[in-house]
Amino acid sequence: SYELTQPPSVSVSPGQTARITCSADALPNQYTYWYQQRPGQAPVLLIYKDSGRPSGVPERISASRSGTTVTLTISGVQAEDEADYYCQSTDRSGASVVFGGGTKLTVL
Amino acid sequence: EVQVVESGGGLVQPGGSLRLSCAASKFTFSNYWMHWVRQAPGKGLVWVSRLNSDGTTTNYADSVKGRFTISRDNAKNTLYLQMNSLRVEDTAVYYCVEGPMDSFDIWGQGTMVTVSS
């Protein structure tokens, strides 16, 4: 089955840059999306179609793709960024939606 | 404010059934794909099912295929998830989500389903 792999955790100090990767054996020619889930809350769309930012998402949050890895970058990390982050795509057939396992971002 | 609100969760015994509902408001419900996504306690997000705008195309995760049925009533702006033959591993918060076919824009707050004897 198609899987997206994320590191379980990433830790950074305030003001630093956090990078969260999402990789697959072979990323299909499908877009990747990113979601932020703060403790006790529902997820929120952060990035759409590989690198688009919905209105309200700050410019210090960005994403990029290189080969079979997509990377979410959060610059100038703040305490409020502490959350779980999930990447998401679809399998090659497009019939199944897949999430990565999630990455817990800790702000030290 | 655009929103979706889930209801219908609760405690059910293994092998039992439950129907979840999701009421949509402040957007043209009949224009959008709708999804169910679940999250077991302390675990990650798992996509469950999706349904196109007019209810003619459905997809399911392998783990629920044949047991769960997604449907909608566009006249009532409501999405449903009929869950049969429930298993302990179906225990999770179930989120109703509005979005395009392959992503998730507007999330509800979720409804908890507990399968336990």
CB pairs under 8 A between A and B: 54
- Does residue B38 belong to the interface with chain A, where contact is any CB pair within 8 Å? no
- Does residue A30 belong to the interface with chain B, where contact is any CB pair within 8 Å? yes
The partner residue sitting opposite B59, judged by closest CB among A1, A96, A99, is A96
Work out the average pLDDT over B50-67: 96
Cα–Cα distance, A104 to A49 (Å, whole number): 22
Please state whether beta strands A83-90 and A97-99 pair in parallel, antiparallel, or not at all (unpaired).
antiparallel
pLDDT value, residue B83: 98
Angle at A89 between CA A83 and CA A93, to 5 degrees: 160
Phi-psi region of A35 (alpha: psi -120 to 50; beta: other; left: phi over 0): beta
pLDDT tens, A53-80? 999 999 999 999 988 899 999 999 999 9
3 state DSSP class of B34: strand
Q: What is the DSSP letter of A108?
A: -
Q: What is the DSSP letter of B51?
A: E
Nearest CA in chain B to A50: B103
